[in-house]
Chain A
Amino acid sequence: MKGTTTRRKFFGGAAALAAPLAAGTAAAGDDLSARLVALEDSSAIRALLLNWARDVNAGKVTAPAANVRSLTLDADAAIAVDANGTAMARVPCTVETATPIDGNETLVEMARLQGDGVVRRAERLALHSTFVKRDGFWHVSKAELRT
Chain B
Amino acid sequence: MQTIAYPKEQLHRTAFTKLTEAQIGAKLAGAAPKSVSPLSEVFAGKQLRIVTDNGPTLSYRFASKNRLSVAENDGRAVEAGYGALTLDDVSLFSHLVPGTQRGYHVVIDRASNLATVFEVWFSGFTDNREVQREIYFGYVAEAGKQAPPARHSLTNRVEGKGFHWTQDTGVETLELYPSTFYSNFVELSRLGGELGFCAPTDYVKIDDELYVYSRVECEFSGVQTLYVFDANRAVQVGVRLGFDAGDALEYYVFTGRGEWVGQIAQFEKFGDTAATPMPAPANGQPLVKGARRVYRPMRNNWQMTKEEVAALTEKNAFGAPSPMAGNKGPVSEYLVGKDLTLRFDNGVAAEYRFDTIDTLHWRRPGESAWREERYEGWESAPGVVMFGHLLTGAPQNDCYKLVADFDHGLVTCIHGTIGSKYIANEAQAETWFGVIEMAGMMPPKYRRHQFTDELVGRAVTWNYSPGLTSMHLYTTPHSLSWIIFGESGAGGMEWSGPASYVKIRDELYLAYWLEEACNGTLGTILVNLRTMHDCGIGYHCGKDGLRLSAMGAHARHAGRFDIAKYYRLKA
A residues with a Cβ closer than 8 A to B are 99, 101-111, 113-120
- Inter-chain CA distance A116–B491, complex, in Å, is 12
A117 touches B467 (CB 8 A): yes
Complex interface bits, B537-550 against A, C-beta within 8 A gives 1, otherwise 0: 01000101000000
CB neighbours of A113 from chain B (8 A): 293, 295, 493
A114 touches B493 (CB 8 A): yes
Complex interface bits, B469-512 against A, C-beta within 8 A gives 1, otherwise 0: 01000000000001011110000110100000000000000000
The chain B residue with its CB closest to the CB of A103 is B323
Q: Pick the contact of A114 from B324, B486, B518, B542 — CB < 8 Å?
A: B486
Give chain A nearest CB distance to B470 CB in angstroms. Answer: 5
Q: Is B464 an interface residue (CB 8 A)?
A: yes
B467 touches A103 (CB 8 A): no
B468 touches A108 (CB 8 A): yes
B466 touches A110 (CB 8 A): no
- Inter-chain CA distance A22–B544, complex, in Å, is 75
- Inter-chain CA distance A87–B521, complex, in Å, is 56
- Inter-chain CA distance A78–B297, complex, in Å, is 53
CB neighbours of A115 from chain B (8 A): 279, 486-487
Q: A106-B521, A119-B467 are known contacts; what are 16 more A-B pairs with Cβ within 8 Å?
A: A102-B323, A104-B544, A106-B482, A106-B495, A106-B518, A106-B519, A107-B470, A107-B484, A108-B468, A111-B493, A113-B493, A116-B467, A116-B486, A116-B487, A119-B465, A119-B466
The chain A residue with its CB closest to the CB of B462 is A107
B538 touches A105 (CB 8 A): yes
Q: Pick the contact of B467 from A110, A114, A118 — CB < 8 Å?
A: A118
Place the interface of chain B in its size category: 20 to 34
Give chain B nearest CB distance to A18 CB in angstroms. Answer: 46
A120 touches B484 (CB 8 A): no
The chain A residue with its CB closest to the CB of B483 is A110
Give chain B nearest CB distance to A69 CB in angstroms. Answer: 11
Count of CB-CB pairs between chains A and B under 8 Å: 66
Give chain B nearest CB distance to A26 CB in angstroms. Answer: 59
Q: Is B515 an interface residue (CB 8 A)?
A: yes
CB neighbours of A102 from chain B (8 A): 323
Chain B residues 279-305 with CB under 8 Å of chain A are 279, 293, 295, 297, 300
CB neighbours of A110 from chain B (8 A): 295, 484, 493, 495
Q: Is B322 an interface residue (CB 8 A)?
A: yes
- Contact A114 B465, CB 8 Å, known A103-B323, A105-B322: no
- Inter-chain CA distance A142–B300, complex, in Å, is 41
CB neighbours of A106 from chain B (8 A): 297, 482, 495, 515, 518-519, 521
- Inter-chain CA distance A113–B487, complex, in Å, is 13
A120 touches B467 (CB 8 A): yes
B484 touches A105 (CB 8 A): no
B residues with a Cβ closer than 8 A to A are 279, 293, 295, 297, 300, 322-324, 464-468, 470, 482, 484-487, 492-493, 495, 515, 518-519, 521, 538, 542, 544
- Inter-chain CA distance A91–B57, complex, in Å, is 55
The chain A residue with its CB closest to the CB of B467 is A119
CB neighbours of A116 from chain B (8 A): 467, 484-487, 492
CB neighbours of B521 from chain A (8 A): 105-106
- Inter-chain CA distance A113–B495, complex, in Å, is 13
- Inter-chain CA distance A102–B323, complex, in Å, is 7
- Inter-chain CA distance A103–B319, complex, in Å, is 13
The chain A residue with its CB closest to the CB of B523 is A106
The 6 closest A-B pairs by CB, nearest first: A119-B467, A119-B466, A114-B493, A114-B492, A110-B484, A103-B323
The chain A residue with its CB closest to the CB of B296 is A113
CB neighbours of B293 from chain A (8 A): 113-114
- Inter-chain CA distance A116–B276, complex, in Å, is 13
The chain B residue with its CB closest to the CB of A115 is B279
CB neighbours of B538 from chain A (8 A): 105
- Which of A99, A110, A117, A119 has the most C-beta atoms of chain B within 10 angstroms of its own C-beta? A110
Give chain B nearest CB distance to A145 CB in angstroms. Answer: 20
The chain B residue with its CB closest to the CB of A121 is B466
- Inter-chain CA distance A107–B467, complex, in Å, is 11
- Contact A107 B482, CB 8 Å, known A101-B323, A101-B467, A114-B293: yes
A101 touches B465 (CB 8 A): yes
A-B contact pairs, 25 of them (CB 8 A): A101-B468, A102-B323, A103-B322, A103-B323, A104-B542, A105-B322, A106-B297, A106-B482, A106-B519, A107-B324, A107-B484, A108-B468, A109-B519, A110-B295, A111-B468, A111-B493, A113-B293, A113-B295, A114-B293, A115-B487, A116-B467, A116-B492, A119-B465, A120-B467, A120-B487
- Contact A105 B467, CB 8 Å, known A110-B495, A113-B295, A114-B486: no
Give chain A nearest CB distance to B473 CB in angstroms. Answer: 14
Give chain A nearest CB distance to B511 CB in angstroms. Answer: 16
- Inter-chain CA distance A101–B467, complex, in Å, is 8
- Inter-chain CA distance A119–B323, complex, in Å, is 11
CB neighbours of A99 from chain B (8 A): 467
- Which of B295, B467, B542 has the most C-beta atoms of chain A within 10 angstroms of its own C-beta? B467
- Which of B482, B484, B486 has the most C-beta atoms of chain A within 10 angstroms of its own C-beta? B484
B486 touches A105 (CB 8 A): no
Give chain B nearest CB distance to A108 CB in angstroms. Answer: 6
The chain B residue with its CB closest to the CB of A120 is B467
- Inter-chain CA distance A135–B493, complex, in Å, is 53
- Inter-chain CA distance A111–B464, complex, in Å, is 13
- Inter-chain CA distance A114–B493, complex, in Å, is 7
Give chain B nearest CB distance to A119 CB in angstroms. Answer: 4
CB neighbours of A119 from chain B (8 A): 465-467
- Inter-chain CA distance A102–B324, complex, in Å, is 10
- Inter-chain CA distance A116–B464, complex, in Å, is 15
- Inter-chain CA distance A99–B466, complex, in Å, is 10
The chain B residue with its CB closest to the CB of A108 is B323
- Inter-chain CA distance A7–B88, complex, in Å, is 78
Give chain A nearest CB distance to B554 CB in angstroms. Answer: 15
Give chain B nearest CB distance to A133 CB in angstroms. Answer: 34
The chain A residue with its CB closest to the CB of B482 is A107
B493 touches A105 (CB 8 A): no
